[in-house]
Structure 1
Amino acid sequence: MTSEFGTSAAAKEAIDILMEMSRLLNTGLDKETLIICTQLLEMGMNPEALASVVTTLRAEAAKIKAEESPS
């Protein structure tokens, strides 16, 4: 039980550190998105491919938002 608690605490601390780094680098990623990206990287996803996907999704979201907002 102690090892589970220790692992959970270590994982939370790691996410907190990553979140702070993300904030300092002004990535605009929220905690949930950062966790998902981290999990994908841990599963072996290419970091450059992930960055490209995030950039593309942001561009598409901005495009949709611009189309929906009244001019």
Structure 2
Amino acid sequence: MKYSREELEEAKRQIDSTLHKLRETIKTFEAKEEKARYKSQITLAKRRVKAFEIANYFIEEAMEK
């Protein structure tokens, strides 16, 4: 599929925003007193961060072409 530059830029902007929110969520959970209680949420958020970083990589690659 081909996407316009504008579509790619908007997708990247949305992913960057979500990444920021996820990273803040991780910080919040890790700062809790009972950190172990939030282990599954922290793991899920970290996996999502990785997935969005991969998506961002491919968007940037597509924008360079």
Instruction: Tell me the TM-score normalized by structure 2.
Output: 0.44
Instruction: Tell me the TM-score normalized by structure 1.
Output: 0.41
Relative to total residues, which structure has the larger helix share, 1 or 2?
Answer: 2
Q: Which has the larger radius of gyration?
A: 1
Identify the structure with bigger relative contact order (alpha carbons < 8 Å, sequence gap 6+). 2
